[in-house]
Structure 1
Amino acid sequence: FLPSFTSRGAARAGTFGNVVTANWQENPVYDHPAGALLRLRVVNTDTTRIHKLYLTTTNAQIIAWDGHPVRDPIALPTALKPVLVGPGQRLDFALRMPESEGQKIDLMAKLPGQPKAMASLRAIGSNLNRNLNALSALPPNPVAHPDLSVAQTHEFVFGWSPDSMIANNGVCGSMGYTFWSINRTPWAGDAATGVGPLAQLELGKSYIFRLRNESPHAHPIHLHGLSFLPLRSNKRRLKSNWTDTTLLIRGETVDVALVADNPGDWAFHCHVIEHQKTGLAGYLRVS
C-alpha cells in the first residue's frame, strides 16, 4: 500500500492514492427501472482529491449543492467542462434513466491519464417513460439572508505557517509537523487549551468573510454550523447558491456572506485532511 500521508504531500496538494472507489467499490453498477426518474447524490469523501465529475447523459440536472436546493442554475457538467467537487462537497443530480434495458449512465471522473467510470446506473425492465421536466423545484432551506448594507467584513488568509510547532491533538495524534495557517496562526491542536476563536461573531448579525488563498494549492474551506452565500471572486464567476464549503483555487480571493444565526463554537478548516492536521484549521464563535 502507498502511505496515507507524507510530509511532501501535506506541504503541497495532499498525498494522492492510486485507487478510486464509489461506495467502497470499483465502478459498482446499480440497476433502476428504464425511463425512471432518479435522484443521485454524490459526496466526495476523498481526503485529498478534488474530483472533476460529469455524467454520460444530457437528460439530467443539478438540483442541490452542499445540501441546499440550487437557486442559481448550474450547467450540467460535461467531459469538456466537468464540475469541480472538493473533499467534503456534495451535489445532487436529478436524472432520467435510459429507455432501453441494459443501457447505462456513467458517473465519470477526469483523472490523470484518462477518464474513469466511478459508478454506473443500468436500466432494467419496461420503459416507465417519465419526464424530467415534470419535477417540481426543491423547496428552499430556511436560511437567514444577510443584509449586505450593514455587514461587517472579516478577512481570513489561508497560507503557509510561520510556526513549526507540533499540534496537540490528544488521542487523535499529530502528524509531527506544521505547514499551514489561517491568518498566520496554525491550529494548536484539538487538545490544546487557551486557543481563542479566529473571529467572534454576534448572534443575528450579518457578516462578509473575505477568504484569501495565498498559496499555489487549492483549499476546500468548510464552515460548521452556518451556511453562507458566495458573492464574488477575483478569478471567476461564482454561482449564488447556499453552501457550507467554498473551493478556493490558486491565488483566489472569495467574498461570502452569512448571518451568524447559530450560537456556539464552529470549526472552520480546510477539508484536505493533511492541510487541516498541519495547521489549516480554527474555529469561529457565535454568541
Structure 2
Amino acid sequence: MLTRRAAIAGLGVGLVAPALLSLPRRPAARPLLTPPVAGAPALHDVTLEAKARSVKLLGKDGPESTLWTYGDELFPVLRLKRGDRLRATLKNSLGEHTSIHWHGVRVPNDMDGVQYVTQKPVEPGESFTYDFSLPDTGTFFFHPHCNETGQVGHGLLGVVIVAGDESEAFDDEAVIIAKDWRLAEDGSFLPFSTDSGAARAGTFGTLRTVNGVKRFARKVPAAADIRLRLLNLDATRMMDVGVEGAEARIIAIDGNPVEAMPLDSWRMGAASRLDLVLRTPKAGGKVRLRDYFPTEIFDLAELEAEGPDRRAEPFDPAPLYASRVPEPDLAGAETQPFVFGAASDAIASFIDTLDPDDPLSKVILDDLCTASRTFWAINKRSWPNDGHRNLPPPLARLKSGKSYRFTLQNATPHPHPIHLHGHTFKVLGSSKRKLPVHYADTVLVLPKERIEIAFVAAAGKWMFHCHILEHLETGMMGYFANA
C-alpha cells in the first residue's frame, strides 16, 4: 500500500510506486502462541451514566464545551480479562433515547445495543443493563447506535480492554484515542453533519485531539518495550500511522493478535484500532507517533523516555497469544458480493459533483437534500431515512454456524470503513493493496477496491454498515438475519 509516508520517503531514495507495491511483506520471526486456559472469571459491575458534562476541550484558558459522556472521565476505559463477565448498567440522563453498542466484542445478539433491532431504546430517565462475558482479548470500544453523529459527536465513547493475550508482560502501556470535534471558537458545537459532507467523505472536525487534548505527551521508561493501543474513534477521519524515533511492530489489528510486522505506516479508517509494540530510546530520547495522511503531518503522541534502561537485549518482543475466533471453512464457504455505492435516486447521482461554496449549490442542497437524506446504498438498497424504527428487509439471511466469503466492492470515489456487528472476520486480500491476512471487525475499502473477507455466521440480527457515521445515517447500512 503506497501511503503518504512511503511516498515522501520514496522521493528521497528514488523509489516509484510500482516498485514499492511489489515488495513482499517481511515474514514474522515467531508464530503466535496457543492461549493458556483462563482462570476463574471475575464479575465486573459498572454504571455508565450518559449525561451532559462540561469539559474544556479548547484548553485550560478556553471556554467550556458541553459534552455528553459516560462518566466524569472523558473516555472511560473498562479493563477486564478474557472470560470475565461484564454487567454494565446504562443510565440515560440525556434528553433523548440512547443505547450502547460494544464495537468488536462478540456479544450475544440481545446485548448488541441497536435500538429497535436488538433492544428497545433506553429513554430519558430509564436504565438498561448489558450482561455478557468477554470471549476474546483485545482493544475494543463502545458507543451509541442511534443519532450517532450527534451522540458520538458530543463525546459518548468509551474503551474496553480485554487482557490475557500477552505471553510476556510489556514494560508499559499507553491508550491513545484519536477524535475530532466540531467546535466553534466559543466552545459550542457546530452542526455534526452537513449534506455536502455526508454525500462525500464526511464532515470533518474543527479541533483535532488525542485523549481529549490538542497535543498528547507522556513520559515512558527508557530502553523499554511498551505497548500502544491506538483507537481511531473519529466519525470520519482516515489516518496513515507511523512511528519515528523507535523501531515499532504491529502486534494486533482491531484487537486481534497478528504475527509481529515491522511498521512503516498503516492506514486506519474510522473505528479501526491498531496495537503496536516499540522499543523506547535511552533517557531523554523522544518517540513520535504520527499521522502522515493530512497535508500537514499530525503528531498523535510524543513519548519522552526517562529513567534507567529497562532492557539491553535486541528488540524482539514476545508474540501474543492467538485469538479464539471461529475459523471459517474457505473451501466450503458460500460466496456473496456486496457493492457499496451511491443511492439510486436523482439527488445522489449528482450531489457529489456540487461545489458546496457555489451559491446555486447551496440552494439545491438546502431545498432538495434536507427532505431526503439518502445518498448511499449497499447492493443498490438504502437504509430508510426514518432510522431503525421501521426495519427494511435484511440484506441476506445467513445460516448460523455456516462459513461465508464476502466480496466487498467500493464503487464510489470515497473510502468506506465497513463494520460487521457481532463477528470477527478474516481479511483475505485486496485488489489494490498488499494486506496481510488478519482478523478484524472493521475493514477499510478504498475507492474502486475489492476486499475479500470470510467468517462463521452467528445467530441473530446483525448490522452491516460503513463507519463514517454520516454514511450509515444516509443509507449505507443494512443487516443480516441469521437463523
Instruction: Give the TM-score normalised by the residue count of structure 1.
Output: 0.88
Pair 1:284-2:480 in alignment: yes
Pair 1:178-2:374 in alignment: yes
After the TM superposition, which of the residue ranges 266-275 and 51-60 deviates more from structure 2? Answer: 51-60
2:440 counterpart SS class: coil
Pair 1:90-2:273 in alignment: yes
Which residue pairs with 1:139 in the alignment?
321
Partner residue of 2:430 out of 218, 222, 233:
233
Q: CA deviation at 1:256?
A: 1.0
Go from structure 1 to structure 2 and tell me whether the alpha carbon gap of 1:94 and 1:175 turns closer, same or farther (over 3 Å shift): farther
Partner residue of 1:204 out of 386, 389, 401:
401
Query: Number of paired residues?
Result: 272
Partner residue of 2:421 out of 205, 213, 224:
224
Q: 1:96 touches 1:130 (CA, 8 Å); kept in 2?
A: no
Which residue pairs with 1:68 in the alignment?
256
Pair 1:257-2:444 in alignment: no
Go from structure 1 to structure 2 and tell me whether the alpha carbon gap of 1:111 and 1:205 turns closer, same or farther (over 3 Å shift): closer
Bigger radius of gyration among the two = 2
* Pairs within 5 Å for 1:103-122: 103-122=285-304
Gaps of 5+ in 2: 1-183, 185-189, 348-369
Identity of aligned residues (%): 41
Q: Distance in 1 between matches of 2:388 and 2:332?
A: 36
Q: Distance in 2 between matches of 1:193 and 1:42?
A: 36
Which residue pairs with 2:344 in the alignment?
162
Partner residue of 2:335 out of 131, 153, 170:
153
Which residue pairs with 1:168 in the alignment?
none
Which residue pairs with 1:52 in the alignment?
240
Q: 1:26 touches 1:119 (CA, 8 Å); kept in 2?
A: no
Which residue pairs with 1:124 in the alignment?
306
Q: CA deviation at 1:84?
A: 0.6
Higher relative contact order structure (alpha carbons within 8 Å, sequence separation ≥ 6): 1
Q: Letter of the 2:434 partner, please give it.
A: R
Q: 1:58 touches 1:76 (CA, 8 Å); kept in 2?
A: no
RMSD: 2.0
Q: CA deviation at 1:247?
A: 0.6
For each residue in 1:189-220, what CA deviation from the matched residue of structure 2 results, as whole angstroms up to 9, or x when unmatched?
A: 44332422211111111111011111011000
Q: CA deviation at 1:238?
A: 2.1
Q: Distance in 2 between matches of 1:276 and 1:175?
A: 17
Q: Distance in 2 between matches of 1:271 and 1:233?
A: 19
Q: 2:410 touches 2:445 (CA, 8 Å); kept in 1?
A: yes
Q: Distance in 2 between matches of 1:134 and 1:154?
A: 41
Q: 2:246 touches 2:279 (CA, 8 Å); kept in 1?
A: no
Go from structure 1 to structure 2 and tell me whether the alpha carbon gap of 1:4 and 1:18 turns closer, same or farther (over 3 Å shift): same
Q: Distance in 1 between matches of 2:432 and 2:403?
A: 25
Go from structure 1 to structure 2 and tell me whether the alpha carbon gap of 1:242 and 1:130 turns closer, same or farther (over 3 Å shift): farther
Q: CA deviation at 1:233?
A: 2.2
Q: CA deviation at 1:175?
A: 8.9
For each residue in 1:59-91, what CA deviation from the matched residue of structure 2 results, as whole angstroms up to 9, or x when unmatched?
A: 2211000010013x54412xxxx3111000000
Gaps of 5+ in 1: 166-173
Q: 2:246 touches 2:280 (CA, 8 Å); kept in 1?
A: no
1:8 counterpart SS class: helix
Instruction: Give the TM-score normalised by the residue count of structure 2.
Output: 0.54
Which residue pairs with 2:168 in the alignment?
none
1:64 counterpart SS class: strand
Q: Letter of the 2:253 partner, please give it.
A: W
